[in-house]
Amino acid sequence: MLWFFNLIRFIKTIHFIFTLFGIVAISCTGSKKYFRAAEKIEKQGLVNEAAQYYYESLERKKSNTKARIKLKEVGQKHINNLSSEFFREFNTQQYEQSIETFDNLKNFVLKSNALNVDFTYPKAYQDDYNKALEYYLSKNYNEANELVNQNKFDLALKKISKIKKYDSNYKNTNELETVSNCEPLYLIAIREMELQNYKSAQNNLNRINSFSNNYKDAKELLDLTTDLLKKTFIIFEPKNSNEKEIEDRLLNHFIEYSFQNSNKIKLINNSPFLFIPNASEMTTAGNIDLTQAIKKATGADYFYVFDVLNKREVETPLSKTYLNCFEKTITKKDTILVTEYISHPYIQVKGKRSYAYDLRFKVIDANTNQIVTSQSTECNGLDEIDYYEFNKIKLNAININNYFPYNPLTTLPINQYNANNWRSSFNNRKELKSFIDLRAKADRKAVDIFSNTLNNYIFK
Protein backbone atom coordinates (compact mmCIF):
# COMPACT_ATOMS: atom_id res chain seq x y z
CA MET A 1 0.00 0.00 0.00
CA LEU A 2 2.87 2.41 0.65
CA TRP A 3 3.89 2.40 -3.01
CA PHE A 4 0.32 3.29 -3.96
CA PHE A 5 0.22 6.37 -1.73
CA ASN A 6 3.63 7.50 -2.98
CA LEU A 7 2.47 7.08 -6.57
CA ILE A 8 -0.60 9.23 -5.88
CA ARG A 9 1.60 11.94 -4.34
CA PHE A 10 3.97 11.85 -7.35
CA ILE A 11 1.08 12.17 -9.85
CA LYS A 12 -0.37 15.12 -7.93
CA THR A 13 3.02 16.83 -7.88
CA ILE A 14 3.53 16.41 -11.61
CA HIS A 15 0.04 17.70 -12.28
CA PHE A 16 0.69 20.73 -10.11
CA ILE A 17 4.00 21.49 -11.84
CA PHE A 18 2.43 21.55 -15.31
CA THR A 19 -0.47 23.62 -14.04
CA LEU A 20 1.94 26.02 -12.36
CA PHE A 21 3.98 26.50 -15.54
CA GLY A 22 0.83 27.28 -17.47
CA ILE A 23 -0.30 29.87 -14.96
CA VAL A 24 3.09 31.51 -14.49
CA ALA A 25 3.39 31.83 -18.25
CA ILE A 26 0.43 34.22 -18.29
CA SER A 27 0.80 35.84 -14.87
CA CYS A 28 3.93 37.32 -13.40
CA THR A 29 3.60 39.09 -10.07
CA GLY A 30 0.92 40.97 -8.18
CA SER A 31 -1.79 40.10 -5.71
CA LYS A 32 -4.63 39.94 -8.25
CA LYS A 33 -2.74 37.68 -10.62
CA TYR A 34 -1.90 35.25 -7.82
CA PHE A 35 -5.54 35.34 -6.71
CA ARG A 36 -6.81 34.49 -10.20
CA ALA A 37 -4.22 31.71 -10.48
CA ALA A 38 -5.33 30.33 -7.10
CA GLU A 39 -8.97 30.26 -8.25
CA LYS A 40 -8.03 28.29 -11.38
CA ILE A 41 -5.98 25.80 -9.38
CA GLU A 42 -8.76 25.40 -6.81
CA LYS A 43 -11.32 24.62 -9.55
CA GLN A 44 -9.05 21.78 -10.65
CA GLY A 45 -9.28 20.33 -7.13
CA LEU A 46 -5.70 21.16 -6.16
CA VAL A 47 -6.58 22.50 -2.74
CA ASN A 48 -3.09 22.36 -1.28
CA GLU A 49 -1.55 24.26 -4.17
CA ALA A 50 -4.39 26.77 -4.26
CA ALA A 51 -3.82 27.54 -0.58
CA GLN A 52 -0.20 28.42 -1.34
CA TYR A 53 -1.29 30.81 -4.09
CA TYR A 54 -3.92 32.48 -1.92
CA TYR A 55 -1.18 33.01 0.64
CA GLU A 56 1.08 34.58 -2.01
CA SER A 57 -1.79 36.87 -3.08
CA LEU A 58 -2.40 38.09 0.46
CA GLU A 59 1.31 38.37 1.23
CA ARG A 60 1.71 40.78 -1.69
CA LYS A 61 -1.24 42.90 -0.63
CA LYS A 62 -2.27 42.70 3.01
CA SER A 63 -5.50 44.60 2.35
CA ASN A 64 -6.80 42.07 -0.22
CA THR A 65 -9.95 41.00 1.63
CA LYS A 66 -10.91 38.37 -0.92
CA ALA A 67 -7.50 36.72 -0.64
CA ARG A 68 -7.77 36.77 3.17
CA ILE A 69 -11.19 35.09 3.13
CA LYS A 70 -10.11 32.46 0.59
CA LEU A 71 -6.86 31.79 2.42
CA LYS A 72 -8.82 31.16 5.62
CA GLU A 73 -11.21 28.84 3.80
CA VAL A 74 -8.92 26.95 1.48
CA GLY A 75 -5.98 27.13 3.89
CA GLN A 76 -7.93 25.28 6.54
CA LYS A 77 -8.67 22.55 4.01
CA HIS A 78 -4.98 22.45 3.24
CA ILE A 79 -4.20 22.09 6.96
CA ASN A 80 -6.77 19.34 7.29
CA ASN A 81 -5.28 17.50 4.31
CA LEU A 82 -1.79 17.76 5.78
CA SER A 83 -3.11 16.60 9.16
CA SER A 84 -4.72 13.55 7.56
CA GLU A 85 -1.59 12.85 5.57
CA PHE A 86 0.52 13.10 8.71
CA PHE A 87 -1.83 10.76 10.58
CA ARG A 88 -1.63 8.16 7.79
CA GLU A 89 2.16 8.40 7.45
CA PHE A 90 2.74 8.25 11.18
CA ASN A 91 0.53 5.21 11.65
CA THR A 92 2.13 3.41 8.72
CA GLN A 93 5.54 4.16 10.25
CA GLN A 94 6.64 6.44 7.41
CA TYR A 95 8.38 8.58 9.98
CA GLU A 96 10.58 10.63 7.68
CA GLN A 97 7.64 11.54 5.43
CA SER A 98 5.44 12.26 8.46
CA ILE A 99 8.06 14.64 9.89
CA GLU A 100 8.32 16.45 6.58
CA THR A 101 4.53 16.69 6.30
CA PHE A 102 4.13 18.05 9.82
CA ASP A 103 6.92 20.58 9.22
CA ASN A 104 5.08 21.79 6.13
CA LEU A 105 1.90 22.05 8.19
CA LYS A 106 3.57 24.07 10.95
CA ASN A 107 5.40 26.33 8.49
CA PHE A 108 2.18 27.13 6.67
CA VAL A 109 0.42 27.89 9.96
CA LEU A 110 3.26 30.12 11.16
CA LYS A 111 3.60 32.18 8.00
CA SER A 112 -0.21 32.55 7.78
CA ASN A 113 -0.30 33.68 11.41
CA ALA A 114 2.12 36.43 10.40
CA LEU A 115 -0.64 37.69 8.07
CA ASN A 116 -3.21 37.46 10.91
CA VAL A 117 -4.84 34.34 9.47
CA ASP A 118 -5.13 31.65 12.14
CA PHE A 119 -5.61 27.94 11.58
CA THR A 120 -6.26 24.97 13.83
CA TYR A 121 -4.96 21.45 13.71
CA PRO A 122 -5.05 18.57 16.21
CA LYS A 123 -2.58 19.50 18.91
CA ALA A 124 -2.22 15.84 19.82
CA TYR A 125 -0.30 15.47 16.58
CA GLN A 126 2.55 17.43 18.17
CA ASP A 127 3.18 14.49 20.51
CA ASP A 128 3.11 12.08 17.58
CA TYR A 129 5.49 14.36 15.71
CA ASN A 130 7.89 14.35 18.67
CA LYS A 131 7.74 10.54 18.79
CA ALA A 132 8.33 10.28 15.05
CA LEU A 133 11.23 12.71 15.27
CA GLU A 134 12.83 10.86 18.17
CA TYR A 135 12.47 7.56 16.35
CA TYR A 136 13.88 9.06 13.16
CA LEU A 137 16.84 10.69 14.93
CA SER A 138 17.59 7.60 17.00
CA LYS A 139 17.39 5.31 13.98
CA ASN A 140 19.74 7.44 11.90
CA TYR A 141 22.07 7.96 14.84
CA ASN A 142 22.38 4.22 15.50
CA GLU A 143 22.90 3.53 11.81
CA ALA A 144 25.54 6.29 11.55
CA ASN A 145 27.33 4.91 14.59
CA GLU A 146 27.35 1.42 13.11
CA LEU A 147 28.59 2.70 9.76
CA VAL A 148 31.44 4.54 11.46
CA ASN A 149 32.41 1.32 13.24
CA GLN A 150 32.44 -0.37 9.83
CA ASN A 151 34.62 2.44 8.37
CA LYS A 152 31.82 3.33 5.94
CA PHE A 153 32.32 7.02 6.53
CA ASP A 154 30.60 8.39 3.40
CA LEU A 155 27.40 6.53 4.24
CA ALA A 156 27.69 7.64 7.86
CA LEU A 157 27.89 11.29 6.78
CA LYS A 158 24.63 10.92 4.85
CA LYS A 159 22.91 9.66 8.00
CA ILE A 160 24.49 12.43 10.04
CA SER A 161 23.22 15.10 7.61
CA LYS A 162 19.69 13.78 8.15
CA ILE A 163 20.13 14.08 11.90
CA LYS A 164 21.59 17.59 11.75
CA LYS A 165 18.71 18.77 9.58
CA TYR A 166 16.52 18.53 12.69
CA ASP A 167 18.89 18.55 15.65
CA SER A 168 22.57 19.46 15.20
CA ASN A 169 23.28 18.71 18.87
CA TYR A 170 21.63 15.29 19.03
CA LYS A 171 23.63 13.09 21.39
CA ASN A 172 27.26 13.05 20.16
CA THR A 173 26.43 13.53 16.48
CA ASN A 174 29.13 16.20 16.17
CA GLU A 175 31.75 13.74 17.35
CA LEU A 176 30.50 11.16 14.84
CA GLU A 177 30.71 13.77 12.12
CA THR A 178 34.26 14.67 13.10
CA VAL A 179 35.31 11.02 13.02
CA SER A 180 33.55 10.45 9.67
CA ASN A 181 35.35 13.40 8.12
CA CYS A 182 38.74 12.94 9.75
CA GLU A 183 39.30 9.21 10.13
CA PRO A 184 39.53 8.37 6.41
CA LEU A 185 41.96 11.25 5.94
CA TYR A 186 43.92 10.11 8.97
CA LEU A 187 44.20 6.54 7.66
CA ILE A 188 45.36 7.79 4.26
CA ALA A 189 47.89 10.13 5.89
CA ILE A 190 49.35 7.30 7.97
CA ARG A 191 49.68 5.12 4.88
CA GLU A 192 51.30 7.95 2.90
CA MET A 193 53.79 8.57 5.69
CA GLU A 194 54.70 4.88 5.72
CA LEU A 195 55.33 5.17 1.97
CA GLN A 196 57.32 8.39 2.59
CA ASN A 197 54.84 10.38 0.50
CA TYR A 198 55.07 13.22 2.97
CA LYS A 199 53.54 15.91 0.76
CA SER A 200 50.36 13.88 0.26
CA ALA A 201 50.28 13.08 3.97
CA GLN A 202 50.68 16.77 4.78
CA ASN A 203 47.74 17.69 2.53
CA ASN A 204 45.46 15.17 4.24
CA LEU A 205 46.58 16.23 7.70
CA ASN A 206 45.87 19.85 6.79
CA ARG A 207 42.36 18.82 5.74
CA ILE A 208 41.90 17.10 9.10
CA ASN A 209 42.87 20.30 10.89
CA SER A 210 40.22 22.16 8.90
CA PHE A 211 37.63 19.92 10.60
CA SER A 212 39.27 19.60 14.01
CA ASN A 213 42.49 20.91 15.51
CA ASN A 214 42.73 18.15 18.09
CA TYR A 215 41.87 14.95 16.23
CA LYS A 216 44.04 12.17 17.61
CA ASP A 217 47.70 13.09 16.99
CA ALA A 218 47.05 14.72 13.59
CA LYS A 219 48.60 18.03 14.66
CA GLU A 220 51.79 16.34 15.82
CA LEU A 221 51.94 14.32 12.61
CA LEU A 222 51.44 17.51 10.61
CA ASP A 223 54.38 19.12 12.40
CA LEU A 224 56.42 16.00 11.68
CA THR A 225 55.58 15.93 7.95
CA THR A 226 56.28 19.65 7.71
CA ASP A 227 59.68 19.08 9.26
CA LEU A 228 60.37 16.10 7.00
CA LEU A 229 59.44 18.16 3.95
CA LYS A 230 61.88 20.91 4.80
CA LYS A 231 64.79 21.12 2.44
CA THR A 232 68.04 20.69 4.32
CA PHE A 233 71.26 22.33 3.25
CA ILE A 234 74.81 23.06 4.34
CA ILE A 235 76.70 26.29 3.77
CA PHE A 236 80.30 25.94 2.64
CA GLU A 237 82.90 28.70 2.45
CA PRO A 238 86.37 28.48 0.90
CA LYS A 239 89.15 27.12 3.03
CA ASN A 240 91.71 29.66 1.87
CA SER A 241 90.51 33.16 1.17
CA ASN A 242 91.83 36.69 1.03
CA GLU A 243 88.52 38.02 2.37
CA LYS A 244 88.05 35.80 5.38
CA GLU A 245 86.62 38.60 7.52
CA ILE A 246 83.82 39.29 5.05
CA GLU A 247 83.08 35.58 4.55
CA ASP A 248 82.80 34.97 8.28
CA ARG A 249 80.53 37.96 8.61
CA LEU A 250 78.30 36.79 5.74
CA LEU A 251 78.23 33.24 7.09
CA ASN A 252 76.81 34.55 10.36
CA HIS A 253 74.21 36.58 8.43
CA PHE A 254 73.23 33.54 6.34
CA ILE A 255 72.90 31.34 9.41
CA GLU A 256 70.76 33.94 11.16
CA TYR A 257 68.48 34.26 8.13
CA SER A 258 68.14 30.47 7.89
CA PHE A 259 67.08 30.18 11.52
CA GLN A 260 64.53 32.96 11.02
CA ASN A 261 63.01 30.86 8.22
CA SER A 262 63.25 27.51 9.97
CA ASN A 263 59.58 26.82 9.17
CA LYS A 264 60.60 26.43 5.52
CA ILE A 265 64.16 25.16 5.55
CA LYS A 266 66.54 23.33 7.79
CA LEU A 267 70.15 24.46 7.96
CA ILE A 268 72.57 21.77 9.06
CA ASN A 269 74.84 23.90 11.20
CA ASN A 270 76.65 21.24 13.22
CA SER A 271 78.21 19.39 10.31
CA PRO A 272 81.89 18.47 10.60
CA PHE A 273 82.21 19.38 6.93
CA LEU A 274 83.22 23.02 6.82
CA PHE A 275 84.89 23.28 3.44
CA ILE A 276 84.43 21.79 0.02
CA PRO A 277 87.06 21.63 -2.72
CA ASN A 278 86.76 23.91 -5.73
CA ALA A 279 84.47 26.30 -3.86
CA SER A 280 85.40 29.09 -6.25
CA GLU A 281 84.81 27.04 -9.38
CA MET A 282 81.35 28.04 -10.58
CA THR A 283 81.12 25.44 -13.34
CA THR A 284 81.81 22.25 -11.40
CA ALA A 285 79.96 20.51 -8.59
CA GLY A 286 83.18 19.00 -7.33
CA ASN A 287 84.01 15.42 -6.55
CA ILE A 288 80.91 13.23 -6.84
CA ASP A 289 82.13 10.71 -4.29
CA LEU A 290 82.76 13.47 -1.80
CA THR A 291 79.35 15.02 -2.47
CA GLN A 292 77.61 11.70 -1.91
CA ALA A 293 79.65 10.98 1.19
CA ILE A 294 78.64 14.33 2.72
CA LYS A 295 75.00 13.79 1.76
CA LYS A 296 75.02 10.32 3.30
CA ALA A 297 76.60 11.60 6.50
CA THR A 298 74.40 14.68 6.90
CA GLY A 299 71.23 14.04 4.93
CA ALA A 300 71.56 17.43 3.21
CA ASP A 301 69.52 18.07 0.06
CA TYR A 302 71.55 21.05 -1.12
CA PHE A 303 75.00 22.56 -0.70
CA TYR A 304 75.32 26.34 -0.78
CA VAL A 305 78.91 27.22 -1.64
CA PHE A 306 80.10 30.81 -1.63
CA ASP A 307 83.25 32.86 -1.95
CA VAL A 308 84.10 36.56 -1.64
CA LEU A 309 86.63 38.31 -3.82
CA ASN A 310 87.87 41.77 -4.78
CA LYS A 311 86.93 43.91 -1.81
CA ARG A 312 87.00 47.55 -2.87
CA GLU A 313 86.91 50.72 -0.80
CA VAL A 314 86.85 53.81 -2.98
CA GLU A 315 86.58 57.44 -1.97
CA THR A 316 86.47 60.05 -4.71
CA PRO A 317 88.10 63.36 -3.70
CA LEU A 318 85.64 66.21 -3.26
CA SER A 319 85.14 68.17 -6.44
CA LYS A 320 84.28 71.85 -6.34
CA THR A 321 82.67 73.85 -9.09
CA TYR A 322 82.58 77.65 -8.76
CA LEU A 323 79.37 79.30 -9.90
CA ASN A 324 77.49 82.56 -9.54
CA CYS A 325 74.07 83.28 -8.14
CA PHE A 326 72.09 86.53 -7.81
CA GLU A 327 70.77 88.23 -4.72
CA LYS A 328 67.59 90.26 -5.05
CA THR A 329 67.99 93.72 -3.49
CA ILE A 330 65.56 96.63 -3.32
CA THR A 331 66.91 100.13 -2.81
CA LYS A 332 65.20 103.49 -2.76
CA LYS A 333 66.50 106.16 -5.07
CA ASP A 334 64.74 109.41 -4.39
CA THR A 335 61.10 108.30 -4.33
CA ILE A 336 61.52 105.22 -6.52
CA LEU A 337 62.13 101.65 -5.36
CA VAL A 338 64.74 99.99 -7.53
CA THR A 339 65.10 96.18 -7.74
CA GLU A 340 68.54 94.87 -8.59
CA TYR A 341 70.19 91.42 -8.65
CA ILE A 342 73.72 91.38 -7.27
CA SER A 343 76.05 88.56 -8.33
CA HIS A 344 77.61 86.38 -5.61
CA PRO A 345 79.95 83.42 -6.04
CA TYR A 346 78.99 80.00 -4.60
CA ILE A 347 80.45 76.51 -4.80
CA GLN A 348 78.90 73.20 -5.82
CA VAL A 349 80.57 70.39 -3.87
CA LYS A 350 80.34 66.73 -4.90
CA GLY A 351 81.76 63.62 -3.30
CA LYS A 352 81.43 59.84 -3.52
CA ARG A 353 82.39 56.89 -1.35
CA SER A 354 81.78 53.20 -2.06
CA TYR A 355 82.40 49.82 -0.52
CA ALA A 356 82.00 46.70 -2.65
CA TYR A 357 82.98 43.08 -3.09
CA ASP A 358 82.09 40.27 -5.47
CA LEU A 359 79.94 37.48 -4.10
CA ARG A 360 80.31 34.23 -5.97
CA PHE A 361 78.10 31.28 -5.11
CA LYS A 362 76.60 28.10 -6.42
CA VAL A 363 73.88 25.72 -5.26
CA ILE A 364 74.53 22.00 -5.69
CA ASP A 365 71.69 19.49 -5.64
CA ALA A 366 73.16 16.75 -3.47
CA ASN A 367 70.71 14.19 -4.88
CA THR A 368 71.78 14.68 -8.50
CA ASN A 369 75.28 16.14 -8.04
CA GLN A 370 74.24 18.97 -10.36
CA ILE A 371 74.70 22.71 -10.01
CA VAL A 372 71.21 24.19 -10.05
CA THR A 373 72.42 27.78 -10.08
CA SER A 374 75.67 29.72 -9.99
CA GLN A 375 76.27 33.43 -9.99
CA SER A 376 78.84 36.14 -9.47
CA THR A 377 77.44 39.51 -8.46
CA GLU A 378 78.65 42.74 -6.94
CA CYS A 379 77.44 43.65 -3.47
CA ASN A 380 78.02 47.30 -2.80
CA GLY A 381 77.21 50.24 -0.62
CA LEU A 382 77.41 53.60 -2.33
CA ASP A 383 77.00 57.11 -0.94
CA GLU A 384 77.16 60.47 -2.70
CA ILE A 385 76.91 64.04 -1.56
CA ASP A 386 76.00 67.04 -3.67
CA TYR A 387 75.57 70.39 -1.94
CA TYR A 388 76.06 74.14 -2.42
CA GLU A 389 77.88 76.52 -0.13
CA PHE A 390 78.82 80.17 -0.12
CA ASN A 391 82.44 81.15 0.04
CA LYS A 392 82.19 83.92 2.59
CA ILE A 393 78.51 84.40 3.34
CA LYS A 394 77.07 82.51 6.28
CA LEU A 395 73.85 80.79 5.34
CA ASN A 396 72.09 81.58 8.61
CA ALA A 397 72.82 85.27 8.13
CA ILE A 398 70.87 85.66 4.90
CA ASN A 399 67.38 85.10 3.54
CA ILE A 400 68.04 82.35 1.01
CA ASN A 401 64.71 83.06 -0.70
CA ASN A 402 66.23 86.26 -2.08
CA TYR A 403 68.84 84.28 -4.04
CA PHE A 404 68.41 82.93 -7.57
CA PRO A 405 70.59 80.65 -9.71
CA TYR A 406 69.94 83.01 -12.62
CA ASN A 407 69.46 86.76 -13.06
CA PRO A 408 65.70 87.25 -13.46
CA LEU A 409 66.26 90.62 -15.18
CA THR A 410 68.36 89.16 -17.97
CA THR A 411 66.89 85.64 -18.22
CA LEU A 412 64.00 85.03 -20.54
CA PRO A 413 60.80 84.02 -18.69
CA ILE A 414 60.75 80.69 -20.50
CA ASN A 415 64.16 79.84 -19.02
CA GLN A 416 63.25 80.82 -15.47
CA TYR A 417 62.29 78.00 -13.10
CA ASN A 418 61.31 77.51 -9.49
CA ALA A 419 64.47 78.04 -7.46
CA ASN A 420 63.35 76.16 -4.32
CA ASN A 421 65.21 72.94 -5.14
CA TRP A 422 68.35 74.93 -5.86
CA ARG A 423 68.01 76.81 -2.55
CA SER A 424 67.41 73.60 -0.57
CA SER A 425 70.69 72.21 -1.89
CA PHE A 426 72.53 74.62 0.42
CA ASN A 427 71.16 72.48 3.29
CA ASN A 428 72.00 69.12 1.75
CA ARG A 429 73.99 66.58 3.76
CA LYS A 430 77.69 67.45 3.69
CA GLU A 431 79.23 64.34 5.25
CA LEU A 432 79.66 61.03 3.49
CA LYS A 433 78.47 57.87 5.24
CA SER A 434 81.24 55.86 6.85
CA PHE A 435 82.69 52.73 5.29
CA ILE A 436 81.15 50.77 8.17
CA ASP A 437 77.69 51.93 7.11
CA LEU A 438 78.41 51.16 3.47
CA ARG A 439 79.73 47.73 4.42
CA ALA A 440 76.46 46.99 6.23
CA LYS A 441 74.56 48.04 3.09
CA ALA A 442 76.65 45.70 0.93
CA ASP A 443 76.09 42.85 3.38
CA ARG A 444 72.31 43.41 3.25
CA LYS A 445 72.47 43.00 -0.53
CA ALA A 446 74.40 39.75 -0.06
CA VAL A 447 71.74 38.46 2.35
CA ASP A 448 68.99 39.47 -0.12
CA ILE A 449 70.75 37.48 -2.83
CA PHE A 450 71.04 34.55 -0.44
CA SER A 451 67.35 34.67 0.47
CA ASN A 452 66.27 34.96 -3.17
CA THR A 453 68.41 31.96 -4.03
CA LEU A 454 66.79 29.91 -1.28
CA ASN A 455 63.32 31.02 -2.41
CA ASN A 456 63.99 30.08 -6.02
CA TYR A 457 65.80 26.79 -5.57
CA ILE A 458 65.32 25.43 -2.06
CA PHE A 459 61.99 26.74 -0.75
CA LYS A 460 60.07 25.74 -3.88
372-412 residue pLDDT tens: 999 999 999 999 999 999 988 888 889 999 999 999 999 99
Counting every residue written for the chain, the total comes to 460
Type of residue found at 275: F
Asked if 223 and 239 sit in the same domain, the reply is no
Residue 2 pLDDT level (bands cut at 50, 70, 90): very low
Average pLDDT, the chain: 88
Average pLDDT over residues 184-213: 94
Q: Is residue 133 part of a domain?
A: no
> What is the dihedral angle through the alpha carbons of 199, 204, 205, 206, rounded to the nearest 10 degrees?
90
Asked if 245 and 276 sit in the same domain, the reply is yes
> Are the C-beta atoms of 298 and 274 separated by less than 8 Å?
no
Asked if 269 and 223 sit in the same domain, the reply is no
Q: Is residue 411 part of a domain?
A: yes
Answer whether residue 130 shows pLDDT above 70.
yes
Final residue belonging to a domain, choices 190, 208, 229: 229
311-362 residue pLDDT tens: 999 999 999 999 999 999 999 888 889 999 999 999 999 999 999 999 999 9
E strands present in 334-414: 336-365, 370-390, 403-404
Cα–Cα dist 53/351, whole Å: 89
> Are the C-beta atoms of 338 and 330 separated by less than 8 Å?
yes
> Are the C-beta atoms of 75 and 117 separated by less than 8 Å?
yes
Asked if 224 and 245 sit in the same domain, the reply is no
pLDDT at 238: 78
pLDDT at 277: 65
Give the least confident one: 115-124, 182-191, 252-261, 354-363.
115-124
Answer whether residue 271 shows pLDDT above 50.
yes
Query: How much is the pTM?
Result: 0.59
402-437 residue pLDDT tens: 999 999 999 999 999 999 999 999 999 999 999 999
Average pLDDT over residues 71-99: 90
Secondary structure letter of residue 374 according to DSSP: E
Asked if 359 and 211 sit in the same domain, the reply is no
Its domain, for residue 395, covers 235-457
How many domains are contained in the chain?
Answer: 3
CATH number where 166 lies: 1.25.40
pLDDT at 293: 86
Asked if 155 and 252 sit in the same domain, the reply is no
pLDDT at 377: 95
Q: Is residue 131 part of a domain?
A: no
